[in-house]
Amino acid sequence: DIQMTQSPSSLSASVGDRVTITCRASQSISSYLNWYQQKPGKAPKLLIYVASSLQSGVPSRFSGSGSGTDFTLTISSLQPEDFATYYCQQSYSTPHTFGQGTKLEIK
């Protein structure tokens, strides 16, 4: 299995901050990297696919970059509704493993 490692595991930030979350794969996954947002008690929601493509309906303050083994999710200006847990997922080969998650909390 391909292992996905996110950093940091948790992050405190304020409304308006620019935030970056990193995801590293244990081997090259080309650009097959997805990002999801999960709020407490809710199903995950797709934000970004193939590393940098914004899912329909997702605000443009979310962006993704990277290829190979290193990827980032950036939120350009945090909004109150962005405080949640974020997961990366590789879809290069099955099983499509997830990272351990990054909990974004209000400072």
Partner 1 sequence: EVQLVQSGAEVKKPGESLKISCKGSGYSFTSYWIGWVRQMPGKGLEWMGIIYPGDSDTRYSPSFQGQVTISADKSISTAYLQWSSLKASDTAMYYCARLPSLVSRLRYFDYWGQGTLVTVSS
Q: Which of 44, 69, 73, 84 binds partner 1 (CB under 8 A)?
A: 44
Least distance (Å) from partner 1 to the CB of residue 11? 15
Q: How far is CA 96 from CA 13, 37, 60, 105, in A?
A: 29, 17, 26, 27
DSSP label of 69: T
Whether the upstream peptide bond of residue 8 has omega within 30° of 0, thus cis, is yes
Contact (Cβ atoms closer than 8 angstroms) between residue 100 and residue 23 = no
Query: Of 11-19, 33-41, 59-67, 70-78, which segment contacts partner 1 by CB under 8 A?
Result: 33-41
Minimum distance from residue 10 beta carbon to partner 1 (Å): 12
Query: Should residue 11 be labelled a site residue for partner 1 when binding is judged by CB under 8 A?
Result: no
One-letter identity of residue 24 = R
- The contact set with partner 1 (CB under 8 A) reads 1, 32, 34, 36, 38, 43-46, 49-50, 53, 55, 87, 89, 91, 94-101
